[in-house]
Structure 1
Amino acid sequence: MEALKEVYSRSFFEQFVKVVKREYPPFDKNRFFELIYDQAWPDRELKMRIRHVADVLTQTLPPTYEEALGILMRIAPGCRGFEYLFLADFVELNGLSYYENSIKALEMFTVCASAEFAVRPFILKDPDRMMAQMLAWSTHQNEHLRRLASEGCRPRLPWGVSLQMFKADPGPILPILDNLKQDSSEYVRKSVANNLNDISKDHPELVLDISKRWYGHHPHTDWIVRHACRSLLKQGNPDALGLFGLGNAEGIDVRQLVTSTPQLKVGEDLIFSFHIQNLSNDARKLRIEYEIGFVKKNGSLSSKRFKLSEKMYPPGTSSVSKKHSFKPITTRVYYAGQHKLSVIINGREAALVPFDLMDGNP
C-alpha cells in the first residue's frame, strides 16, 4: 500500500499551483517547486510534509498575512480533502496574532479538510476566548463546525499538541459535548465519543458518571456512550461492564483453549479455538476478548487486547475460533520469543496458553 504521505505528488502540486495562479497570477511556480522538493523532502512523514507545504506557502505568497490568507480563502472552496490540511496549518503557523481573521479562515478550512490541529495553539494561547468560540461552533448548522468543536479540544488528539490543562480539568469541554450528545451526524457523534474516551484515561469516574446519566435516553446518545467507554471496557472496569449488562463471569468457564500453531513465523497467522461453557440455566450476555502478550525488544511482554464478540450465550457449550495475523505492520515490530494468548470474559482472564513466535527470515 502506498504511504499516505505520497498523496503530495508532483501532479497534485501542479494542479494546486494552477488553482493558486488563477487567483494570484504573480505566484512563482518555479520557486514553489524548488522549495517544496528540498533535500529533506523524501524523508518527511505526512505531518511534517503538511507543515513544510504551509511554510513554503508562507515564503511564496504575499508577505502580509492578511493578503496571503485572503488568497487561500478564495481558493478554498475548490480544495477539498485531507491533503489540504496545510491550509489550516498555514493559519496555525502564521495567524496566532490575528485572531478574528484566523477564526474566519479556520471556519472555512475545516469544511474543506479539517482544522482540528490548527485550533489547538489558539486554545493554548487564550483558552477562555477560544473555548467560547468552540462552544458557539457546537450549535452551528454545519456538521464540520460542530465536529471541530469537539475534535479540536480532545485532550489526547492523535498527532495534535497535547492539551495538558484539559487532561487535568476537562470541565470546559463538557458543555460542548453536552450540546452534541444527540447530534444527528455520525461524524460528530464519533468525535464526541473519542473526546470522552480521551477524558476516561485521566478521569474514569467522571466519564462513568456522564455515561450513566446519558445512557438510555436517545439512540444517538447510547451510541456515543458505548464508544466512549471502550477503553474502560477493555480495562475490565466493573461499572462500565455493568452499565451494558455485562455482569461478573461466575458460572462461565473457558475450556480447551488450544492453538493449532504453537510455533509460527512472522508473517503467518496464529490460529486458536476454545469452548465457552455456560454452567447456568439461563443465557448470559458475555463480552469475549483475547489478549496477546507480545515480546518486546528487551524480552518483556506488552499486552494488547482485541474484541471477539459481545452477545448472548445459551446454556451449555459454545465453540469459538479465531485467527490473528502476524504479518508485518507499520505500528508494531514483532520480536521472536514466547508470547502469551489469554481469553478474557467480561473483563476477567479465564484461560491462558503460551506460543512461540519465530523470525520469519529463511
Structure 2
Amino acid sequence: MDELISPHVVVRLRDSLEAVAPGLELTGLHEAERTVAGRRLRDRVDLVREALLGDVPPGFPAAERTVQDVIATPGFSGWMVWPVTEFVAARAIDDGSPSAFDAGMDLLAVLTSMLSSEFAVRDMLNAHPERAVYTMRGWTGHPDEHVRRLASEGSRSYLPWAKRVPWLIAHPDATRGIIDRLYRDPEEYVRRSVANHLNDLSRVDPRLVTEVAGGWQGEPDENTPWVVRHGLRTLIKKADPQALALLGYAGDGLRVDRPELSTSTVPQGGELGFTAMVTNDGDTDATVAIDYSIGFVRANGAVSPKTFKLTSRRLAPGESIRVAKTHSFRPITTRTYYPGLHFLTVQANGTLSPRADFELEGRAGSR
C-alpha cells in the first residue's frame, strides 16, 4: 500500500499543478519525488502535504483557487488526492476565519468524490468540532453519495487509520443527527458506514446505541434490519441485554457445556476444530445468539479474548444442539499469533461455557 503514493504519483500531481499554475517553482514537490520512496504510506502523505504547503503561495484563498483549478485537469485523480485534502484542511485551519473554515469544508466535499476526504476532515473536526459537525449534518442531504458517506464516515468515533477526535468521544450524541438521517440512505455504501458508525459508538455509550437502534426499528425500511444488526454486532458479542432484546434474542435458562477441542496443541498456521453443546433449560422457547471467544496471547504475555460470530438458533424448552467450528491460525496482516497457552469459550446470549485450554506452538527459534 505504501506505493499508492509513489514517485510517479508525485510527478503526476506536479504536472497537474504546472498545467494550472505554470509560474510555480514547485521545489517541494521536486524534492518529494526524490525522497518519497522507501517511506510508509502515512509518511508519504505528510511529505507531499508539506511540499504543497511550501510550494503553493501562502493563505487559504491561494490554496482554494489552486485546488479548484487543478480539480479540472485530466491528470488529477487517484491517490494524489489524499495529500491535497490534507493540504486544504491545513490552510483552512491556519487561516483561522469562519469563512475559510466553511470554504475548506466545501472543498473537502468536492474532493471526496475523487477519493475520500475522511482523514482530512478529522483535522477540521479537531479544530472546530461543533462547526464541522453542523456542516456535516448538512451533507446528509447532498445528492452525491460520496459526500453523504463522508458525513458518517468522517465523524466516526474510531475511524480506522485516522486521527482520534477526543471531542467526538466526549460527546457521543453529537453525531446522532447525522446517522439518524442516513440509516435509510438508498446507497449501501452509505448505510454500511452508518452501521460502522453506530458500532463505534457502542465503545463509548452502549445505552445511546440501543436507544438509536430502537428508534430506527420504529421507522424502518427494507434495509433497516441489516443496518441495526451490523451496528449492534459488538454489543451482541458482549451479550448486552438491550441489544439482544432489540434483535429478538431471548432465553435466560441456557447452558453451554465445555467445548470439545480437536487437539490440545495447534501449530503455527494450523487449525483448531471444536464442538460445544448448547441447551435450553428454561420453560419457554429461546432465540439464541451463539458466539465463541479465543483468548489470544499477546506480545507481553497477557491473554486478551476476541469474540467471533458463530450462529443463531431457536431452541424449544429442553432442546439441545451441538455447534461446530474450525478456527484457522494462518498468518493474517491484522493479527500476530504468539505461542503459549490460549483458551476457547462458547457463549449463548452471554451465558459462557467453561474454558477449554490449548497450546499454540511457536516457530523454530521463537519463545
- TM-score band, normalised by the shorter chain? 0.7 to 0.9
Maintained 8 Å contact 1:289/1:306: yes
After the TM superposition, which residues 1-362 of structure 1 pair with which residues of structure 2 at under 5 Å, given as runs? Answer: 4-26=1-23, 32-38=29-35, 41-42=37-38, 44-76=39-71, 78=74, 79-81=76-78, 84-96=81-93, 97=95, 98-218=100-220, 219-254=222-257, 257-277=259-279, 284-312=286-314, 316=319, 318-361=321-364
Q: CA deviation at 1:154?
A: 2.0
Greater CA drift, 276-285 or 226-235:
276-285
Q: Which runs of 5+ in 1 are unaligned?
A: none
Does the aligned pair in 1 maintain the 2:85–2:108 contact within 8 Å?
yes
Contact 1:66 1:101 in 2 (8 A): no
Query: 1:28 deviation in Å?
Result: 5.2
RMSD: 2.8
Quote the offset at 1:322 in angstroms: 2.1
> Quick one: structure 1 residues 312 and 17, their matched pair in 2 at CA, closer, same or farther if it must change by over 3 Å?
farther
CA shift digits 1:120-151 (9 cap, x unpaired): 33233333332221121111121112112222
Letter in 2 for 1:23: V
Specify whether residues 170 and 274 from structure 1 end up closer, same or farther in structure 2 by C-alpha distance, changes over 3 A only: closer
Question: How high is the sequence identity, in percent, across the aligned residues?
Answer: 33
- Does the aligned pair in 2 maintain the 1:266–1:327 contact within 8 Å? yes
The TM-score normalised by the length of structure 1 is: 0.87
- Cα deviations by residue, 1:66-101 (Å, 9 ceiling, x for unpaired): 334433333336544456321211112222123243
Letter of the structure 2 residue corresponding to residue 110 of structure 1: T
Task: Tell me how far 1:181 sits from its aligned partner.
Answer: 2.6
Q: Please state how far the C-alpha of 1:348 moved relative to its aligned partner.
A: 1.8
Give the AA of the match of 1:22: A
Q: CA deviation at 1:34?
A: 2.8
Report the CA distance between 1:63 and its aligned residue.
Answer: 4.5
Structure 2-normalised TM-score?
A: 0.85
Gapped regions of structure 2 (runs ≥ 5): none
